[in-house]
């Protein structure tokens, strides 16, 4: 769907962003640049996903909890631990710091965090029956709400002695995120970031999941834009200052094809049963570059 810029305020009227400043001193030049990009055929972001300084401050406070949760998981995760114990830990830290797990009951998801082990790509459901074993790799995907603001990130953890091929997958996936982050440049496109991620994964013999990607995040759990990591440079939505989105490629050791667990309706696995890895960060586009909000 093509986004049409709404009517602009008069230059001396209050800015549409709610800052209280006159439009000419706030977002007038920003809108001029958006319009110029749109006239060149570039997809521009809708106003509703451009975050105000107040929004950004709220997201950052939520992110403090989000980061603390994954830090604590990193301290405690070990061989013999159940994924349900990880869920319990996430609840303990999140609620203890005044936040709420965003995953819990989201579209019916039954737990407070996603724990995806080995060939599970994403949306693994914590369970007392899933016990982490020596050699496992596991993604813990944590999302947090504080005062109506959302933060989101995930990390990979390696349990015990992990094989060299799994270690490489985990590290290359982390490199993919960093390489993508380097392409988060204001007034460039999301395709620049996505194509860089995909190129690095493919150069190492891996494939990137196509159907599931990143997303805007901040005032809602999932906002526009949807973020692809198999996109082309120069395509997709413009990255404008004030946008907040996740970089979270899911990189498979084998085929990019995935299957959904028919029993629980949530867990996504690789179609060939080979391992998958994912790291997720939440990024703010700034006037001069970017700022990482969660990791």
Secondary structure (DSSP) of 214-281: EEE-SSSSSEEEEE-SS--TT-SBB--TT-EEEE--EEESS-S-EEE-TTTS--EEETT---EEE-BE
CATH domain 50-294 topology: Creatine Amidinohydrolase (3.90.230)
d(CA 295, CA 292): 7
Question: Are the C-beta atoms of 153 and 66 separated by less than 8 Å?
Answer: yes
pLDDT tens-digit series, residues 35-93: 999 999 999 999 999 999 999 999 999 999 999 999 999 999 999 999 999 999 999 99
What are the sequence ranges of the domains in the chain?
50-294
State the pLDDT at residue 5: 84
pLDDT tens-digit series, residues 122-143: 999 999 999 999 999 999 999 9
Q: Which residues of the chain have pLDDT under 50?
A: none
State the pLDDT at residue 271: 98
pTM over 0.75: yes
Residue in the block written with tokens 């640049």: 33
Q: If DSSP codes are grouped into helix, strand and coil, which group holds residue 65?
A: helix
């Amino acid at each position: 769907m093509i986004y049409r810029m709404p009517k602009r305020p008069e230059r001396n009227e209050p800015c549409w962003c709610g800052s209280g400043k006159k439009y000419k001193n706030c977002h007038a030049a920003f809108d001029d640049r958006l319009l110029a990009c749109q006239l060149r055929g570039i997809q521009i972001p809708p106003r509703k996903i451009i975050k105000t300084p107040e929004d950004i401050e709220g997201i950052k406070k939520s992110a403090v909890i989000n980061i603390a949760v994954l830090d604590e998981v990193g301290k405690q995760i070990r061989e013999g631990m159940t994924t349900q114990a990880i869920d319990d830990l996430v609840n303990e830290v999140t609620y203890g710091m005044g936040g709420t797990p965003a995953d819990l009951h989201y579209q019916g998801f039954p737990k407070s965090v996603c724990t995806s082990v080995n060939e599970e790509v994403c949306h693994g459901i914590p369970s007392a029956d899933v016990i982490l074993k020596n050699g496992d790799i596991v993604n813990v995907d944590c999302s947090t709400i504080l005062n109506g603001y959302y933060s989101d990130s995930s990390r990979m953890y390696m349990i015990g002695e992990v094989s060299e091929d799994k270690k490489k997958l985990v590290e290359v996936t982390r490199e993919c995120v960093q390489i993508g982050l380097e392409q988060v440049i204001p007034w460039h496109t999301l395709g620049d970031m996505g194509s860089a991620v995909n190129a690095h994964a493919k150069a190492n013999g891996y494939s990137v999941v196509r159907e599931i990607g990143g997303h805007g995040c901040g005032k809602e759990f999932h906002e526009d834009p949807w973020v692809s990591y198999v996109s082309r440079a120069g395509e997709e939505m413009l990255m404008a200052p004030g946008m907040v989105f996740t970089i979270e490629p899911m990189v498979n050791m084998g085929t990019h094809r995935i299957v959904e667990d028919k029993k629980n309706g949530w867990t996504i696995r690789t179609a060939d049963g080979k391992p998958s890895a994912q790291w997720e960060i939440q990024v703010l586009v700034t006037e001069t570059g970017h700022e990482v909000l969660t990791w």
